[in-house]
Structure 1
C-alpha cells in the first residue's frame, strides 16, 4: 500500500498500543485472506499476493492497525514469491518469529 493510500490508524500511532477487538470485529474489518494471514497465521501462496511484485513507491502499513511496517525503497526480489525487505520501517515495527513449520526453519 502506498503512503498516499495509507489507512487511518485506529489508535495513537505514537503510543503503539495494541488494538484489541473481538473476532467478530476483526472479521468485519478484514477480508477473508487478510483475516487468515493476520489472525490465524496463514500465508498467501507464493507469487500470488497483491503486493509481491508491487513496485509503487511508498510506505507499507499494517492492515490491522495502520502502523508503518516497511518502506518500498527497502524492498528487494528474494525469488521467494513473497514481498521481501532489507529492514522494517522502524526496528520495533515488526516482531520476528522463527517458523519451523513444513519441516524447515523459515
Structure 2
C-alpha cells in the first residue's frame, strides 16, 4: 500500500470526508466524547479509515475515560511513532505506517493496568471497524 503515501492532497480530498481529511491528513483532533468508537465494543479489527490497513485488534481496546478510543497495543508494524512538538509540549504522534494518516498520540506511564503501560489515544474518525 505504499502508493497511498504518494497520493496528492486532491486525491485524498476526493476519497475522504472533510473531517477525515482534517484529522488524517492535517493532524487534527476530534472533540473528546464525540467519536463513534469511544464506547464501542465488539470483536474485530479497527482499520485505517484512509487506506484500510488493519491497525488494532479489539482485544487491545480498553476504556480509559479520556474521550477517545484507547488501545494498549497496535498490530505489529501497522502504526509508526513520531515526535510531536506542537501545542507547546512534546508528545508521541502515531500514524498509519501504510498511508501516513494521523491517528492520534500514544502515552506511557499513566498507570492503566495494561500489558504495555501504554494508551494509544486514537481519533474515531481515523478508524473503521471490521467485525470478525
TM range (shorter): 0.7 to 0.9
Q: CA RMSD in A?
A: 1.5
The SS at the match of 1:61 is: strand
Residues 1:50 and 2:11 aligned together: no
Please show how residues 1-106 of structure 1 align to structure 2 within 5 Å.
11=1, 17-19=2-4, 20-90=6-76, 92-106=77-91
Q: How high is the TM-score relative to the length of structure 1?
A: 0.75
Q: Relative contact order, CA 8 A, sep 6+: which one is greater?
A: 2
Which consecutive residues of structure 2, in runs of 5 or more, have no partner in the other structure?
92-132
Aligned residues between the structures? 90
**TM-score normalised by structure 2 residue count:** 0.61
- Against the structure 1 CA distance between its residues 33 and 51, is the aligned structure 2 distance closer, same or farther, given a 3 Å change threshold? same
